[in-house]
Amino acid sequence: MKFRTSKLRRVATRAVSQAGAVALVLAAAGAAQAGPLPDGPGMSQARGSTGRPAGPHPVPGSEVHNPFMAQDGRSAMHGDSYASNTQPQEGPLGRHPRVTSAGKVTDPGEPGQCAAATFLRNGLMVLNCGAASHRPTLRLEDPSTLKDLATYPLPVRPSTYQAAATHNPALMFSDTSGSYYYLDNHDRIVIAGADQRIQRLTVRRTTSGRWEFKQADDWNLRSHLPHDCATAADPDPVGECDPVTAVQPDYRGLLWWVSDHGRVGTVNPKTGTVRTAGLTGEQIENSFSTGPDGAFIATDHALYKMHAAPDGTPRTDWRETYDRGTRTKPGQINQGTGATPALLGNSYVGITDNADPRMHVLVYRRGSHVNGNRLVCSVPVFRPGASATENSLTAWGNGFTVENDYGYTSIKSTQGGMSTPGGITKIEVDKAGDGCNVAWTSKEQSPTVVTKLSRSNGLLYAYSKPYSSKGVDAWYLTAIDWRTGTTRFRTLTGTGDTYNNNWSPITLGPDGSAYISTYSGIVRVHDGAGQNS
């Protein structure tokens, strides 16, 4: 984010010494091992787990795998290159559920987040974590014990220095740069950092038996991006800073990347050649998706389908504008779609708009050339004056689900028993492909999570925080029937801010556990008896 106000200048001047102190702390590679997350007030008053165990009912759909990424469901924040938010793994069925947790920041009350989780072939988990008092780190985790096996320091985001200068940690959480990474087909981590470099890392075990991350490749994008970025000494530089938001391969193996200020580029990993294109005057604050037919990128003005020219230069196949509304709604980062484009089968791509008074789910035909209207449908969702999302759709079969994030501006939005209006809606594309209908709407209040569908058991997992007249802030892993929208069960994870996921996703592990990154650590929910035990 870029700030040019005189107020920030004054605050920044007074805070340089503080920012310098923060920078010294940030020099550490990561926090020490922490114990379980503490419960907040009201745990004894919180309603416990509800519902009944579910049986597995797989849902059919078309599977298309990016050959340059790891197994679907393990490779990226949104599950796969389609950003479908689906996983082939079977999640918890609610059978004698067990909950464990671990703190991943120095102080359990300190702002912190593990933005994404992926799984290596050997079953170990990789987390991308950051906090106010130490620099971002990759963490290699034992998925059962949640213990750190290795850490790797990442570049400090400019927004961290701005947050220190303004005493506003929310700036860090509205900065999506460096949040998105993926595992490639050789189990390597590919991540774009705040220093405008793309790194490719391996994970290996040393002869002494210790695990470590090791850099294998490094591609510098600074000559292609403005880089007058905030530092400890100057948290509000005059020039432009354009951080990289996300990186992902296409189906030819080129590494595509996007920046916050609307730049799109590719890197040829064999030659290091970089090619770029600019979407002038537009912002990209989400990730993007790739399919066999190209890359799909959403800005705060339009949805694009692009392909790489023979020399790797990004070219636009089509551009579709949408209703971006009149304001940035509470629950969004900017005035535009909050959704990474989600691909459905071989034909469709879905996003949301930012229309008033109701947000719409928009479904488009993906082909480069279509007869008639590219827009299949525009379906209004949730109630007037209270609809917005900052998460991508979940897409499978013939349907998309969307979560209502309206009203969530910070952890204060869910304190003291409060919650957001909530709601999760599924829309389905009709068989003829010329329209959509609302299949169901759930009243679950899931303020900010990236929901995940287990294709093996037919359950859509959300993270609920119901309103409480007693002022109890209880958080639940919630399983919803993909076909009907019925809530099958809720599992209480804990109470208080430390259990607030604060925009992080749910991830299903190879053993059927569900993992939720929270404001101070990570939570694991798994079945304690029978299947998935």
Question: Which pLDDT belongs to residue 34?
Answer: 64
Q: Which of 70-74, 173-177, 444-448, 469-473 is predicted with the least confidence, judged by mean pLDDT?
A: 173-177
pLDDT at 406: 98
Average pLDDT estimate for 346-358:
97
Give a yes or no: residue 488 inside a domain: yes
Give 17's pLDDT tier (boundaries 50, 70, 90). Answer: very low
How many angstroms separate the Cα of 49 from the Cα of each of 46, 52, 462? 9, 9, 14
The mean-pLDDT minimum among 41-45, 156-160, 293-297 falls in: 156-160
Residue 141 — very low, low, confident or very high, per pLDDT cuts 50/70/90? very high
User: What's the structural domain count of the chain?
Assistant: 1
Give me the percent of the chain exceeding a pLDDT of 70. 89
Residue 532 lies in a domain: no
Does the residue 435 lie in any domain? Answer: yes
Strands 487-495 and 506-508: unpaired
Backbone angles phi, psi at 420, to 5 degrees: -95, 165
How many C-beta atoms lie closer than 10 Å to residue 249's C-beta? 23
Judge whether residue 328 has pLDDT over 60.
yes
Which is nearest to 491 in space by CA: 96, 174, 61, 197?
A: 96
Mean pLDDT of the region 91-107: 88
What is the length of the chain?
533
State pLDDT tens for residues 374-395.
999 999 999 999 999 999 999 9
pLDDT of residue 90: 95
Q: Is residue 533 part of a domain?
A: no
pLDDT of residue 105: 65
Burial class (CB within 10 angstroms; exposed 0-12, middle 13-18, buried 19+) of 107: middle
CA distance 369 to 173: 39
Tokens of 226: 């403005």
- 268-282 mean pLDDT: 97
Cα 439 to Cα 424: distance, rounded to the nearest angstrom: 11
Q: Which domain holds residue 501?
A: 6-527
pLDDT, tens only, 471-529: 999 999 999 999 999 999 999 999 999 999 999 999 999 999 999 999 889 999 999 97
pLDDT at site 104: 82
| Res. 6 pLDDT band, cuts 50 70 90 | very low
| 212-257 per-position pLDDT tens digit | 999 999 999 999 999 998 888 888 899 999 999 999 999 999 999 9
Dihedral of the alpha carbons of 334, 335, 336, 339, in degrees to the nearest 10: 40
pLDDT of res. 35? 85
- Which stretch of 104-108, 246-250, 458-462 has the lowest confidence by average pLDDT? 104-108
Secondary structure element (H or E) that encloses residue 15, with its range: helix 6-26
Rounded Cα distance between 438 and 15, Å, is 51
Does residue 519 belong to any structural domain of this protein? yes
For residue 66, pLDDT beyond 70: yes
Let me know if residue 168 belongs to a domain: yes
**CA distances for 91 relative to 26, 77, 368, 508, 533, angstroms:** 36, 16, 37, 6, 11
Whether the predicted pLDDT of 185 surpasses 90: yes
Rounded mean pLDDT, 411-422: 96
Mean pLDDT of the chain: 90
pLDDT reading at 28 higher than 70:
no
Mean pLDDT of 20-33: 36
* Alpha-carbon gap, residue 173 to 181, rounded angstroms: 17
Q: Is 149 helix (H, G, I), strand (E, B) or coil?
A: strand
Is there a domain that residue 227 lies in? yes
CATH of the domain at 497: 2.130.10.10
Of the segments 1-5, 6-10, 480-484, which one has the largest average pLDDT value? 480-484
Per-residue model confidence (pLDDT) at position 10: 32
| Separation CA 264–CA 244 (nearest Å) | 9
pTM across the whole model: 0.92
Could you tell me the pLDDT band of residue 133, with boundaries at 50, 70 and 90?
low
Q: Which of 364, 406, 400, 367 is nearest to 384 (CA)?
A: 406
- Per-residue confidence band for 132, with pLDDT thresholds at 50, 70 and 90: low
Q: Where are the beta strands (DSSP E) in 237-383?
A: 244-249, 255-259, 263-267, 274-278, 289-291, 294-298, 302-308, 314-321, 342-344, 348-352, 359-365, 375-381
Task: Supply the DSSP string of 53-93, one letter for each residue.
Answer: PPPP----------TTB-STTTSBTTSSTT---EESS----
Instruction: Round to whole Å and give the CA distance between 165 and 11.
Output: 6
Per-residue confidence (pLDDT) for residue 532, from 0 to 100: 45
Tell whether omega for the bond before 357 is within 30 degrees of 0, i.e. cis.
Answer: yes
